[in-house]
Amino acid sequence: GAVVSQHPSRVICKSGTSVKIECRSLDFQATTMFWYRQFPKQSLMLMATSNEGSKATYEQGVEKDKFLINHASLTLSTLTVTSAHPEDSSFYICSARVWDRGQGGYTFGSGTRLTVV
Amino acid sequence: GENVEQHPSTLSVQEGDSAVIKCTYSDSASNYFPWYKQELGKRPQLIIDIRSNVGEKKDQRIAVTLNKTAKHFSLHITETQPEDSAVYFCAAKSGNEKLTFGTGTRLTIIP
């Protein structure tokens, strides 16, 4: 089945630094990638939608200058958390739309646990 | 945008009994409703889904029902087992391809 590989799985960074998270579609082309954030014991909240070759669209309340998204190819989307602060500590997960025998669904990366100290 | 509400937030059932989780959605254009099981620190795992042209779908011990008129859908797990303990999320896909998640239900199966 369609697989999205997400790296790193865990990262600890110092406050004020930037962290890049990568999601690669391994056996399919993802023109669109969805980025979610999940705080402990909460739901997955959509942050932004990345589109290959064009600007990402951000959900209301998400700072586009802080969460930089790049989708330069059909198999790679990246999320960079700039000037990270402890409140950015969360579980970040990407997702792509996939099609199987004409039926649409979603596949998820394995997630990145970001801890900002 | 789409708004998905999920109840209950926690649910404890005796092993072997049934568990039911309910969700409502707001966007009548939503047409795809998946259910996910999520272990701590892991990605959501699809357990069953239903599309708007179907009212019910079953896969062994798991079933989902959809009432488009009332804009609600439910997950039914029968003959629950300890390994069913996890957090479950419903979701709804609206016309813009975005998937909106419910708030989650922590299911505990009591041996």
Provide mean pLDDT across the span B64-72: 96
Rounded mean pLDDT of chain B? 96
Question: Is the pLDDT higher at A102 or at B43?
Answer: B43
- Burial label, B90 (beta-carbon count in 10 A; 0-12, 13-18, 19+): buried
Residue type, A57: T
| Cβ separation A106–B98 shorter than 8 A | no
List the 38-77 stretch of B: residues with Cβ below 8 A of A: 41-44, 46, 49, 51
Residue B84 three-state SS: helix
Check if the beta carbon of residue A30 is closer than 8 Å to that of residue A74: yes
pLDDT for residue A102: 77
> For residue B102, which residues of chain A lie inside 8 Å, CB to CB?
43
pLDDT for residue A1: 76
**Closest chain B residue to the Cα of A33, Cα to Cα:** B98
> For residue B92, which residues of chain A lie inside 8 Å, CB to CB?
none
| Cβ separation A43–B101 shorter than 8 A | yes
| Cβ separation B42–A109 shorter than 8 A | no
Provide mean pLDDT across the span A32-60: 94
pLDDT for residue B53: 87
B96 has a pLDDT exceeding 90: no
> For residue B10, which residues of chain A lie inside 8 Å, CB to CB?
none
A112 has a pLDDT exceeding 90: yes
pLDDT for residue A23: 97
**Considering only CA atoms, which of A113, A94, A107, A95 is closest in space to residue A19?**
A113
What token pair was written down for B109?
């199966």
Check if the beta carbon of residue A112 is closer than 8 Å to that of residue A105: no
pLDDT for residue A13: 97
Check if the beta carbon of residue A50 is closer than 8 Å to that of residue A64: no
Confidence at B4, pLDDT banded by 50, 70, 90: very high
In chain A, % of residues over pLDDT 90: 83
| E-state strands within chain B | 4-7, 10-14, 19-25, 32-38, 45-51, 56-59, 62-67, 72-77, 86-93, 99-101, 105-110
**Considering only CA atoms, which of A82, A108, A106, A80 is closest in space to residue A94?**
A108
Q: Nearest C-alpha of chain A: how many angstroms from B88?
A: 10
Q: Nearest C-alpha of chain A: how many angstroms from B5?
A: 11
Question: Is the pLDDT higher at B52 or at A82?
Answer: A82
pLDDT for residue A22: 97
What is the full DSSP assignment across chain A?
---EEEE-SEEEE-TT--EEEEEEESSS--SEEEEEEE-TTS--EEEEEEETTS--EE-TT--TTTEEEEEEETTEEEEEE-S--GGG-EEEEEEEEEEETTEEEEEE---EEEEE-
Residues sharing a CB contact under 8 Å with residue A102, sequence separation 6 or more, in sequence order: none
